[in-house]
A and B are shown apart, each in its own frame.
Chain A
Amino acid sequence: MLDIHKLSAGYGEAMVLHDISCRIDPGQVTALMGRNGMGKTTLLKTIMGLIKARSGQIIFNGAPIEKQPTHLISRAGLGYVPQGREIFSDFTVAENLHLSQLGHNTGAVLPLEKIYDWFPILKERSEQRAGTFSGGQQQILAIARALIGKPSMLLLDEPTEGIQPSIVHEIGLQLRRIARETGLGILIVEQNVDMVRTLAEEVFFMENGAIQERCDIAALRQDDSLLHRYLSV
Protein backbone atom coordinates (compact mmCIF):
# COMPACT_ATOMS: atom_id res chain seq x y z
CA MET A 1 0.00 0.00 0.00
CA LEU A 2 1.20 3.47 -0.86
CA ASP A 3 0.04 6.23 1.43
CA ILE A 4 1.03 9.81 0.64
CA HIS A 5 0.36 12.36 3.32
CA LYS A 6 0.59 16.13 2.86
CA LEU A 7 3.53 15.85 0.49
CA SER A 8 5.22 18.98 -0.87
CA ALA A 9 8.09 18.91 -3.34
CA GLY A 10 9.56 20.86 -6.23
CA TYR A 11 12.68 22.04 -8.01
CA GLY A 12 14.80 24.60 -6.19
CA GLU A 13 12.61 27.53 -5.20
CA ALA A 14 9.66 26.42 -7.32
CA MET A 15 7.23 24.16 -5.51
CA VAL A 16 5.26 21.82 -7.75
CA LEU A 17 3.42 19.58 -5.28
CA HIS A 18 1.39 21.30 -2.58
CA ASP A 19 0.29 19.22 0.42
CA ILE A 20 -0.76 16.35 -1.78
CA SER A 21 -2.43 13.35 -0.09
CA CYS A 22 -3.61 10.10 -1.61
CA ARG A 23 -3.74 6.39 -0.93
CA ILE A 24 -3.34 3.46 -3.27
CA ASP A 25 -4.37 0.04 -2.00
CA PRO A 26 -2.34 -3.11 -2.74
CA GLY A 27 -3.00 -4.55 -6.16
CA GLN A 28 -5.02 -1.56 -7.27
CA VAL A 29 -4.48 -0.03 -10.71
CA THR A 30 -4.74 3.73 -10.51
CA ALA A 31 -4.37 6.25 -13.30
CA LEU A 32 -3.15 9.76 -12.65
CA MET A 33 -4.48 12.22 -15.22
CA GLY A 34 -4.16 15.92 -15.76
CA ARG A 35 -2.76 18.50 -18.13
CA ASN A 36 0.96 19.02 -18.67
CA GLY A 37 2.79 20.82 -15.90
CA MET A 38 0.35 19.84 -13.14
CA GLY A 39 2.94 17.80 -11.21
CA LYS A 40 2.26 14.21 -12.27
CA THR A 41 5.86 13.36 -13.19
CA THR A 42 7.12 15.28 -10.14
CA LEU A 43 4.90 13.13 -7.91
CA LEU A 44 6.34 9.89 -9.36
CA LYS A 45 9.90 11.21 -9.09
CA THR A 46 9.35 12.25 -5.49
CA ILE A 47 7.96 8.82 -4.62
CA MET A 48 11.13 7.29 -6.13
CA GLY A 49 13.38 9.67 -4.18
CA LEU A 50 14.72 11.31 -7.36
CA ILE A 51 13.37 14.60 -6.03
CA LYS A 52 13.60 15.18 -2.30
CA ALA A 53 10.32 15.78 -0.49
CA ARG A 54 10.21 19.21 1.15
CA SER A 55 7.62 18.15 3.70
CA GLY A 56 5.06 15.43 4.26
CA GLN A 57 5.30 11.66 4.30
CA ILE A 58 5.32 8.77 1.85
CA ILE A 59 4.49 5.47 3.53
CA PHE A 60 5.07 2.36 1.43
CA ASN A 61 4.03 -1.01 2.86
CA GLY A 62 4.08 0.44 6.35
CA ALA A 63 7.49 2.15 6.23
CA PRO A 64 8.29 5.81 5.56
CA ILE A 65 10.42 6.10 2.40
CA GLU A 66 10.56 9.85 1.76
CA LYS A 67 14.09 10.13 3.21
CA GLN A 68 15.43 6.92 1.69
CA PRO A 69 17.90 6.91 -1.22
CA THR A 70 16.44 5.84 -4.57
CA HIS A 71 18.07 2.41 -4.75
CA LEU A 72 16.58 1.39 -1.39
CA ILE A 73 13.14 2.61 -2.46
CA SER A 74 13.50 0.44 -5.55
CA ARG A 75 14.55 -2.55 -3.47
CA ALA A 76 11.64 -1.97 -1.08
CA GLY A 77 9.36 -2.96 -3.95
CA LEU A 78 8.65 0.09 -6.09
CA GLY A 79 9.30 -0.40 -9.80
CA TYR A 80 9.67 2.69 -11.96
CA VAL A 81 9.30 3.15 -15.72
CA PRO A 82 10.40 6.72 -16.44
CA GLN A 83 9.06 9.05 -19.07
CA GLY A 84 11.01 8.57 -22.29
CA ARG A 85 11.81 4.98 -21.20
CA GLU A 86 15.51 5.66 -20.51
CA ILE A 87 16.73 2.24 -21.51
CA PHE A 88 20.51 1.83 -21.85
CA SER A 89 20.75 2.04 -25.61
CA ASP A 90 24.38 0.88 -25.86
CA PHE A 91 23.61 -2.29 -23.89
CA THR A 92 21.98 -5.40 -25.28
CA VAL A 93 18.46 -6.32 -24.24
CA ALA A 94 19.86 -9.07 -22.00
CA GLU A 95 22.29 -6.61 -20.38
CA ASN A 96 19.48 -4.15 -19.67
CA LEU A 97 17.57 -6.89 -17.89
CA HIS A 98 20.66 -8.22 -16.12
CA LEU A 99 21.40 -4.75 -14.76
CA SER A 100 18.09 -4.77 -12.94
CA GLN A 101 18.87 -8.24 -11.53
CA LEU A 102 22.17 -6.86 -10.21
CA GLY A 103 20.35 -4.04 -8.44
CA HIS A 104 18.23 -6.44 -6.40
CA ASN A 105 19.02 -9.28 -4.05
CA THR A 106 19.61 -12.38 -6.08
CA GLY A 107 16.95 -14.30 -4.17
CA ALA A 108 14.30 -11.68 -4.77
CA VAL A 109 14.31 -11.32 -8.55
CA LEU A 110 11.80 -12.63 -11.02
CA PRO A 111 13.21 -15.46 -13.16
CA LEU A 112 13.97 -14.36 -16.71
CA GLU A 113 11.75 -17.16 -18.08
CA LYS A 114 8.76 -15.40 -16.55
CA ILE A 115 9.74 -12.12 -18.22
CA TYR A 116 10.29 -13.89 -21.55
CA ASP A 117 6.94 -15.63 -21.14
CA TRP A 118 5.19 -12.26 -20.80
CA PHE A 119 7.27 -10.51 -23.46
CA PRO A 120 8.54 -13.10 -25.98
CA ILE A 121 10.13 -10.44 -28.19
CA LEU A 122 12.75 -9.81 -25.49
CA LYS A 123 13.85 -13.44 -25.68
CA GLU A 124 14.00 -13.44 -29.46
CA ARG A 125 16.12 -10.31 -29.49
CA SER A 126 18.04 -10.69 -26.24
CA GLU A 127 21.42 -10.10 -27.91
CA GLN A 128 20.26 -7.09 -29.92
CA ARG A 129 21.37 -3.61 -28.90
CA ALA A 130 18.48 -1.93 -27.11
CA GLY A 131 19.08 1.34 -28.99
CA THR A 132 18.00 -0.35 -32.24
CA PHE A 133 14.55 -1.15 -30.80
CA SER A 134 11.43 0.76 -31.86
CA GLY A 135 9.75 3.02 -29.31
CA GLY A 136 7.20 0.37 -28.41
CA GLN A 137 9.83 -2.35 -28.01
CA GLN A 138 11.91 -0.04 -25.81
CA GLN A 139 8.83 0.57 -23.69
CA ILE A 140 8.31 -3.17 -23.27
CA LEU A 141 11.97 -3.51 -22.26
CA ALA A 142 11.65 -0.68 -19.73
CA ILE A 143 8.56 -2.32 -18.20
CA ALA A 144 10.21 -5.75 -18.10
CA ARG A 145 13.32 -4.24 -16.51
CA ALA A 146 11.22 -2.72 -13.75
CA LEU A 147 9.30 -5.97 -13.17
CA ILE A 148 12.47 -8.02 -12.61
CA GLY A 149 12.86 -6.67 -9.08
CA LYS A 150 9.44 -8.19 -8.18
CA PRO A 151 7.92 -4.83 -7.25
CA SER A 152 4.65 -4.82 -5.37
CA MET A 153 3.84 -1.54 -7.08
CA LEU A 154 4.84 -0.25 -10.51
CA LEU A 155 5.01 3.45 -11.35
CA LEU A 156 4.60 4.17 -15.07
CA ASP A 157 5.18 7.64 -16.50
CA GLU A 158 3.35 8.14 -19.83
CA PRO A 159 4.17 4.72 -21.28
CA THR A 160 2.21 5.39 -24.49
CA GLU A 161 3.99 8.61 -25.42
CA GLY A 162 5.26 8.38 -29.00
CA ILE A 163 4.20 4.75 -29.51
CA GLN A 164 2.09 3.21 -32.28
CA PRO A 165 -1.57 2.79 -31.27
CA SER A 166 -1.55 -0.97 -31.97
CA ILE A 167 1.33 -1.50 -29.53
CA VAL A 168 -0.28 0.82 -26.97
CA HIS A 169 -3.29 -1.47 -26.77
CA GLU A 170 -1.09 -4.56 -26.58
CA ILE A 171 0.95 -3.09 -23.70
CA GLY A 172 -2.25 -2.14 -21.88
CA LEU A 173 -3.68 -5.66 -22.14
CA GLN A 174 -0.41 -7.25 -21.06
CA LEU A 175 -0.06 -4.97 -18.04
CA ARG A 176 -3.64 -5.80 -17.01
CA ARG A 177 -2.89 -9.50 -17.32
CA ILE A 178 0.28 -9.19 -15.23
CA ALA A 179 -1.50 -7.12 -12.57
CA ARG A 180 -4.24 -9.72 -12.24
CA GLU A 181 -1.83 -12.64 -12.31
CA THR A 182 0.60 -11.29 -9.71
CA GLY A 183 -1.42 -8.83 -7.64
CA LEU A 184 0.87 -6.02 -8.80
CA GLY A 185 -0.36 -2.53 -7.97
CA ILE A 186 0.11 0.11 -10.67
CA LEU A 187 0.17 3.89 -10.60
CA ILE A 188 0.18 5.11 -14.18
CA VAL A 189 0.51 8.69 -15.38
CA GLU A 190 -1.28 8.77 -18.70
CA GLN A 191 -2.85 11.16 -21.21
CA ASN A 192 -4.12 8.38 -23.47
CA VAL A 193 -7.77 7.80 -22.51
CA ASP A 194 -7.94 4.38 -24.22
CA MET A 195 -5.00 3.14 -22.18
CA VAL A 196 -6.62 4.37 -18.98
CA ARG A 197 -9.91 2.67 -19.88
CA THR A 198 -8.12 -0.61 -20.70
CA LEU A 199 -6.04 -0.73 -17.57
CA ALA A 200 -7.20 1.42 -14.67
CA GLU A 201 -9.73 0.71 -11.95
CA GLU A 202 -9.61 4.16 -10.47
CA VAL A 203 -8.59 7.58 -11.75
CA PHE A 204 -7.08 10.53 -9.90
CA PHE A 205 -7.29 13.94 -11.55
CA MET A 206 -4.45 16.26 -10.76
CA GLU A 207 -4.34 20.03 -11.05
CA ASN A 208 -1.89 22.62 -9.70
CA GLY A 209 0.11 20.13 -7.69
CA ALA A 210 -2.79 18.51 -5.86
CA ILE A 211 -5.32 15.76 -6.46
CA GLN A 212 -8.62 17.50 -7.12
CA GLU A 213 -10.91 14.61 -7.80
CA ARG A 214 -11.08 10.82 -7.97
CA CYS A 215 -13.54 8.44 -9.54
CA ASP A 216 -13.74 4.76 -10.46
CA ILE A 217 -13.46 3.69 -14.04
CA ALA A 218 -17.13 2.61 -14.37
CA ALA A 219 -18.28 6.12 -13.47
CA LEU A 220 -15.85 7.56 -16.00
CA ARG A 221 -17.23 5.32 -18.73
CA GLN A 222 -20.74 6.70 -18.20
CA ASP A 223 -19.82 10.32 -17.77
CA ASP A 224 -16.71 11.85 -19.28
CA SER A 225 -17.29 15.40 -18.11
CA LEU A 226 -14.33 15.00 -15.71
CA LEU A 227 -12.07 14.22 -18.65
CA HIS A 228 -13.15 17.46 -20.32
CA ARG A 229 -12.69 19.46 -17.16
CA TYR A 230 -9.21 18.19 -16.32
CA LEU A 231 -7.73 17.32 -19.70
CA SER A 232 -9.00 19.76 -22.33
CA VAL A 233 -6.84 22.78 -22.90
Chain B
Amino acid sequence: MNELFPIILDVSSYILILVLVALGLMIVFGMMGVINMAHGELFMIGAYVMVALQDVGLPFWAGILLAPVIVGFLGLLIEAALIRHIYLRPLDTILATWGLSIALKQLVVLTFGPESQSVTLPVDGSLEIGAFSYPLYRLILMASSVLLIGATFWLFTRTDFGLMARAVIARPATAATLGIDTRRMYRWSFVIGTALAGLAGALVAPIISVDPQMGLGYLVPGFLSILVGGAGPLAGVLVGGAVVGGVNNLLAVWISPVAAMITVYVIAILIIRLKPEGIMGGRRAK
Protein backbone atom coordinates (compact mmCIF):
# COMPACT_ATOMS: atom_id res chain seq x y z
CA MET B 1 0.00 0.00 0.00
CA ASN B 2 2.73 2.45 1.00
CA GLU B 3 4.59 1.73 -2.22
CA LEU B 4 1.52 1.94 -4.43
CA PHE B 5 0.22 5.23 -3.09
CA PRO B 6 3.05 7.52 -4.33
CA ILE B 7 2.86 5.88 -7.76
CA ILE B 8 -0.88 6.57 -7.99
CA LEU B 9 -0.24 10.18 -6.94
CA ASP B 10 2.56 10.56 -9.51
CA VAL B 11 0.35 9.17 -12.26
CA SER B 12 -2.54 11.40 -11.22
CA SER B 13 -0.46 14.55 -11.26
CA TYR B 14 0.86 13.69 -14.73
CA ILE B 15 -2.69 13.02 -15.97
CA LEU B 16 -3.91 16.33 -14.59
CA ILE B 17 -1.16 18.33 -16.30
CA LEU B 18 -1.78 16.40 -19.51
CA VAL B 19 -5.48 17.24 -19.29
CA LEU B 20 -4.64 20.93 -18.83
CA VAL B 21 -2.47 20.90 -21.95
CA ALA B 22 -5.03 18.87 -23.93
CA LEU B 23 -7.91 21.12 -22.84
CA GLY B 24 -6.22 24.14 -24.41
CA LEU B 25 -5.52 22.12 -27.55
CA MET B 26 -9.10 20.95 -27.77
CA ILE B 27 -10.74 24.33 -27.21
CA VAL B 28 -8.72 25.63 -30.13
CA PHE B 29 -9.33 22.58 -32.32
CA GLY B 30 -12.98 21.91 -31.45
CA MET B 31 -13.98 25.52 -31.87
CA MET B 32 -11.87 26.77 -34.73
CA GLY B 33 -10.53 23.69 -36.49
CA VAL B 34 -7.02 24.89 -35.66
CA ILE B 35 -4.51 22.13 -34.97
CA ASN B 36 -1.96 24.07 -32.97
CA MET B 37 1.44 22.39 -33.29
CA ALA B 38 2.96 25.28 -31.30
CA HIS B 39 0.85 24.50 -28.23
CA GLY B 40 3.72 22.56 -26.65
CA GLU B 41 6.00 25.57 -27.12
CA LEU B 42 3.49 27.85 -25.40
CA PHE B 43 3.57 25.36 -22.52
CA MET B 44 7.38 25.54 -22.60
CA ILE B 45 7.34 29.35 -22.59
CA GLY B 46 5.13 29.23 -19.49
CA ALA B 47 7.93 27.28 -17.80
CA TYR B 48 10.61 29.70 -19.08
CA VAL B 49 8.65 32.65 -17.69
CA MET B 50 9.25 31.01 -14.30
CA VAL B 51 12.98 30.66 -15.05
CA ALA B 52 13.25 34.31 -16.11
CA LEU B 53 11.31 35.63 -13.13
CA GLN B 54 13.42 33.50 -10.78
CA ASP B 55 16.54 35.04 -12.35
CA VAL B 56 15.32 38.57 -11.64
CA GLY B 57 14.34 37.56 -8.13
CA LEU B 58 10.56 37.68 -8.28
CA PRO B 59 8.72 35.23 -6.02
CA PHE B 60 7.32 31.98 -7.38
CA TRP B 61 3.68 32.92 -6.93
CA ALA B 62 4.12 36.11 -8.92
CA GLY B 63 5.28 33.89 -11.78
CA ILE B 64 2.17 31.72 -11.48
CA LEU B 65 0.07 34.86 -11.95
CA LEU B 66 2.25 36.36 -14.69
CA ALA B 67 2.91 33.25 -16.82
CA PRO B 68 -0.68 32.82 -18.10
CA VAL B 69 -0.93 36.57 -18.72
CA ILE B 70 2.33 36.69 -20.69
CA VAL B 71 1.63 33.50 -22.65
CA GLY B 72 -2.00 34.55 -23.20
CA PHE B 73 -0.78 37.88 -24.59
CA LEU B 74 1.61 35.98 -26.85
CA GLY B 75 -1.43 33.92 -27.92
CA LEU B 76 -3.27 37.14 -28.74
CA LEU B 77 -0.38 38.26 -30.96
CA ILE B 78 -0.20 34.85 -32.65
CA GLU B 79 -3.96 34.94 -33.28
CA ALA B 80 -3.84 38.41 -34.78
CA ALA B 81 -0.76 37.78 -36.92
CA LEU B 82 -1.25 34.18 -38.01
CA ILE B 83 -4.22 32.12 -36.85
CA ARG B 84 -7.06 34.42 -37.91
CA HIS B 85 -6.01 34.04 -41.52
CA ILE B 86 -6.30 30.26 -41.47
CA TYR B 87 -9.38 29.47 -39.38
CA LEU B 88 -11.21 26.27 -40.32
CA ARG B 89 -8.37 25.11 -42.61
CA PRO B 90 -6.80 22.34 -40.47
CA LEU B 91 -4.04 21.37 -42.91
CA ASP B 92 -2.82 24.95 -43.26
CA THR B 93 -2.91 25.40 -39.49
CA ILE B 94 -0.62 22.39 -39.04
CA LEU B 95 2.00 23.85 -41.37
CA ALA B 96 1.79 27.40 -40.07
CA THR B 97 1.86 26.48 -36.38
CA TRP B 98 4.61 23.91 -36.93
CA GLY B 99 6.73 26.71 -38.38
CA LEU B 100 5.80 28.85 -35.42
CA SER B 101 6.83 26.10 -32.99
CA ILE B 102 10.30 25.90 -34.56
CA ALA B 103 10.66 29.68 -34.39
CA LEU B 104 9.60 29.82 -30.74
CA LYS B 105 12.01 27.01 -29.82
CA GLN B 106 14.92 28.78 -31.50
CA LEU B 107 13.98 32.03 -29.83
CA VAL B 108 14.21 30.32 -26.45
CA VAL B 109 17.54 28.70 -27.38
CA LEU B 110 18.91 32.12 -28.37
CA THR B 111 17.69 33.74 -25.16
CA PHE B 112 18.31 31.04 -22.54
CA GLY B 113 20.70 28.64 -24.30
CA PRO B 114 20.05 25.02 -25.25
CA GLU B 115 20.86 23.54 -21.83
CA SER B 116 18.16 22.69 -19.33
CA GLN B 117 17.27 25.03 -16.50
CA SER B 118 15.64 24.43 -13.18
CA VAL B 119 13.12 26.29 -11.08
CA THR B 120 13.38 26.06 -7.31
CA LEU B 121 10.49 24.45 -5.47
CA PRO B 122 8.46 27.15 -3.70
CA VAL B 123 7.60 24.81 -0.84
CA ASP B 124 10.12 22.27 0.27
CA GLY B 125 8.31 20.11 2.76
CA SER B 126 6.59 16.78 2.49
CA LEU B 127 3.27 15.60 3.69
CA GLU B 128 3.92 12.76 6.14
CA ILE B 129 1.25 10.41 7.35
CA GLY B 130 2.79 7.53 9.25
CA ALA B 131 5.34 5.85 6.99
CA PHE B 132 3.88 7.58 3.95
CA SER B 133 5.56 10.73 2.70
CA TYR B 134 4.86 12.80 -0.40
CA PRO B 135 6.27 16.16 -1.61
CA LEU B 136 3.93 18.96 -0.65
CA TYR B 137 4.37 20.89 -3.90
CA ARG B 138 3.13 17.95 -5.94
CA LEU B 139 -0.06 17.94 -3.90
CA ILE B 140 -0.47 21.69 -4.45
CA LEU B 141 0.14 21.12 -8.15
CA MET B 142 -2.60 18.49 -8.28
CA ALA B 143 -5.08 20.62 -6.38
CA SER B 144 -4.37 23.62 -8.63
CA SER B 145 -4.84 21.48 -11.74
CA VAL B 146 -8.16 20.13 -10.49
CA LEU B 147 -9.31 23.69 -9.77
CA LEU B 148 -8.19 24.91 -13.20
CA ILE B 149 -9.85 22.04 -15.04
CA GLY B 150 -13.01 22.67 -13.03
CA ALA B 151 -12.87 26.39 -13.79
CA THR B 152 -12.46 25.72 -17.51
CA PHE B 153 -15.44 23.36 -17.51
CA TRP B 154 -17.45 25.92 -15.56
CA LEU B 155 -16.50 28.66 -18.04
CA PHE B 156 -17.60 26.61 -21.03
CA THR B 157 -20.73 25.01 -19.59
CA ARG B 158 -22.16 27.48 -17.07
CA THR B 159 -21.42 31.03 -18.24
CA ASP B 160 -22.71 33.34 -20.99
CA PHE B 161 -19.28 33.20 -22.62
CA GLY B 162 -19.52 29.39 -22.65
CA LEU B 163 -23.02 29.46 -24.12
CA MET B 164 -21.81 31.69 -26.95
CA ALA B 165 -18.69 29.57 -27.46
CA ARG B 166 -20.71 26.36 -27.70
CA ALA B 167 -23.13 28.05 -30.10
CA VAL B 168 -20.23 29.15 -32.30
CA ILE B 169 -18.83 25.60 -32.26
CA ALA B 170 -22.19 24.04 -33.24
CA ARG B 171 -23.43 26.58 -35.82
CA PRO B 172 -21.05 29.47 -36.49
CA ALA B 173 -23.18 31.08 -39.23
CA THR B 174 -26.39 30.92 -37.21
CA ALA B 175 -24.64 32.34 -34.14
CA ALA B 176 -23.48 35.28 -36.26
CA THR B 177 -27.02 35.95 -37.50
CA LEU B 178 -28.02 36.34 -33.84
CA GLY B 179 -25.50 39.16 -33.45
CA ILE B 180 -22.65 37.12 -31.98
CA ASP B 181 -19.20 38.24 -33.10
CA THR B 182 -17.73 34.87 -34.03
CA ARG B 183 -14.26 36.29 -34.74
CA ARG B 184 -14.11 37.73 -31.27
CA MET B 185 -15.17 34.40 -29.77
CA TYR B 186 -12.45 32.63 -31.77
CA ARG B 187 -9.87 35.14 -30.60
CA TRP B 188 -10.66 34.92 -26.89
CA SER B 189 -11.01 31.15 -26.95
CA PHE B 190 -7.57 30.93 -28.53
CA VAL B 191 -6.16 33.23 -25.85
CA ILE B 192 -7.77 31.12 -23.10
CA GLY B 193 -6.30 27.96 -24.65
CA THR B 194 -2.80 29.46 -24.79
CA ALA B 195 -3.03 30.96 -21.29
CA LEU B 196 -3.95 27.49 -19.98
CA ALA B 197 -0.86 26.03 -21.67
CA GLY B 198 1.32 28.77 -20.17
CA LEU B 199 -0.07 28.21 -16.70
CA ALA B 200 0.38 24.45 -16.98
CA GLY B 201 4.03 25.00 -18.00
CA ALA B 202 4.57 27.37 -15.07
CA LEU B 203 3.03 24.94 -12.58
CA VAL B 204 5.17 21.96 -13.61
CA ALA B 205 8.39 23.97 -14.03
CA PRO B 206 9.72 23.16 -10.51
CA ILE B 207 9.32 19.38 -10.88
CA ILE B 208 10.79 18.87 -14.35
CA SER B 209 13.87 20.05 -16.17
CA VAL B 210 13.02 23.08 -18.25
CA ASP B 211 14.54 22.85 -21.72
CA PRO B 212 13.63 24.03 -25.25
CA GLN B 213 12.46 20.54 -26.28
CA MET B 214 10.07 19.95 -23.40
CA GLY B 215 6.94 20.99 -25.34
CA LEU B 216 6.88 17.95 -27.60
CA GLY B 217 6.74 15.60 -24.63
CA TYR B 218 3.35 17.02 -23.75
CA LEU B 219 2.05 17.92 -27.21
CA VAL B 220 2.09 14.36 -28.53
CA PRO B 221 0.30 12.76 -25.56
CA GLY B 222 -2.03 15.78 -25.56
CA PHE B 223 -3.09 15.07 -29.13
CA LEU B 224 -3.36 11.35 -28.38
CA SER B 225 -5.66 12.17 -25.46
CA ILE B 226 -7.99 14.08 -27.78
CA LEU B 227 -7.93 11.29 -30.39
CA VAL B 228 -8.62 8.62 -27.78
CA GLY B 229 -11.18 10.58 -25.78
CA GLY B 230 -12.96 12.28 -28.66
CA ALA B 231 -13.01 15.95 -29.66
CA GLY B 232 -16.69 16.53 -29.01
CA PRO B 233 -17.70 17.09 -25.41
CA LEU B 234 -15.05 18.52 -23.09
CA ALA B 235 -15.32 15.38 -20.95
CA GLY B 236 -13.58 13.50 -23.78
CA VAL B 237 -10.31 15.11 -22.74
CA LEU B 238 -10.66 13.81 -19.19
CA VAL B 239 -11.18 10.24 -20.38
CA GLY B 240 -8.46 10.48 -23.05
CA GLY B 241 -5.99 12.06 -20.66
CA ALA B 242 -6.67 9.39 -18.05
CA VAL B 243 -6.18 6.54 -20.54
CA VAL B 244 -3.07 7.94 -22.25
CA GLY B 245 -1.44 9.42 -19.15
CA GLY B 246 -2.37 6.49 -16.91
CA VAL B 247 -1.11 3.73 -19.19
CA ASN B 248 2.02 5.67 -20.12
CA ASN B 249 3.09 6.40 -16.55
CA LEU B 250 2.12 3.12 -14.90
CA LEU B 251 3.88 1.00 -17.50
CA ALA B 252 6.92 3.29 -17.48
CA VAL B 253 7.28 2.58 -13.75
CA TRP B 254 6.48 -1.14 -13.88
CA ILE B 255 8.13 -2.21 -17.14
CA SER B 256 10.01 0.47 -19.08
CA PRO B 257 9.34 3.84 -20.73
CA VAL B 258 9.71 2.29 -24.18
CA ALA B 259 7.18 -0.45 -23.46
CA ALA B 260 4.86 2.24 -22.10
CA MET B 261 5.00 4.33 -25.28
CA ILE B 262 4.48 1.27 -27.48
CA THR B 263 1.45 0.25 -25.44
CA VAL B 264 -0.01 3.78 -25.56
CA TYR B 265 0.29 3.88 -29.34
CA VAL B 266 -1.18 0.38 -29.74
CA ILE B 267 -4.14 1.36 -27.55
CA ALA B 268 -4.56 4.62 -29.47
CA ILE B 269 -4.51 2.79 -32.81
CA LEU B 270 -7.02 0.19 -31.55
CA ILE B 271 -9.41 2.85 -30.25
CA ILE B 272 -9.14 4.94 -33.39
CA ARG B 273 -9.73 1.80 -35.49
CA LEU B 274 -12.70 0.53 -33.45
CA LYS B 275 -14.20 3.86 -32.44
CA PRO B 276 -12.94 6.56 -34.82
CA GLU B 277 -14.89 9.25 -32.96
CA GLY B 278 -13.04 8.54 -29.72
CA ILE B 279 -14.42 7.06 -26.52
CA MET B 280 -16.76 9.95 -25.77
CA GLY B 281 -17.70 10.73 -29.38
CA GLY B 282 -16.58 13.39 -31.82
CA ARG B 283 -17.95 16.76 -32.86
CA ARG B 284 -21.68 16.52 -32.78
CA ALA B 285 -23.56 16.32 -36.05
CA LYS B 286 -24.92 19.69 -37.13
A residues with CB within 8 A of B: 48-50, 69-71, 74-75, 80, 82, 86, 88, 90-91, 95, 98-100, 102-104, 145-146, 149
Contact = CB atoms under 8 A, between A and B. Distances in A.
Given A69-B181, A70-B176, 12 more contacts: A69-B176, A71-B176, A74-B178, A82-B177, A86-B174, A90-B170, A91-B163, A95-B163, A99-B163, A102-B160, A103-B164, A149-B178
B177 A50 contact: yes
Interface in B141-190: 160, 163-164, 166-167, 170-171, 173-183
Nearest to B182: A71
A208 B181 CA distance: 33
Nearest to A75: B179
Contacts of A88: 166-167, 170-171, 174
Contacts of B170: 88, 90
A10 B281 CA distance: 35
A103 B172 CA distance: 13
A99 B177 contact: no
Q: Summarize B's interface: helix, strand, loop or mixed.
A: helix
Contacts of A80: 177
B180 A102 contact: yes
A99 B173 contact: no
Contact of B177 (A70, A90, A95, A102): A70
Contacts of A149: 178-179
Contact of A145 (B178, B182, B183): B178
B281 to A, nearest CB: 12
Interface of B: 160, 163-164, 166-167, 170-171, 173-183, 284
A42 to B, nearest CB: 14
A79 B183 CA distance: 20
Contacts of B177: 48, 50, 70-71, 74, 80, 82, 146
A53 B50 CA distance: 50
B176 A99 contact: no
A29 to B, nearest CB: 20
Interface centre among B163, B164, B179 (most CB of A within 10 A): B179
Contacts of B164: 99, 102-103
Contacts of A104: 179
A188 to B, nearest CB: 16
A106 to B, nearest CB: 11
A82 B174 contact: yes
A62 B7 CA distance: 69
Contacts of A82: 174, 177
A71 B163 contact: no
Contacts of B180: 71, 99, 102-103
Contact of A70 (B167, B171, B173): B173
B105 to A, nearest CB: 36
A74 B179 contact: yes
Contacts of B166: 88, 90-91
Contacts of B178: 71, 74, 99-100, 103, 145-146, 149
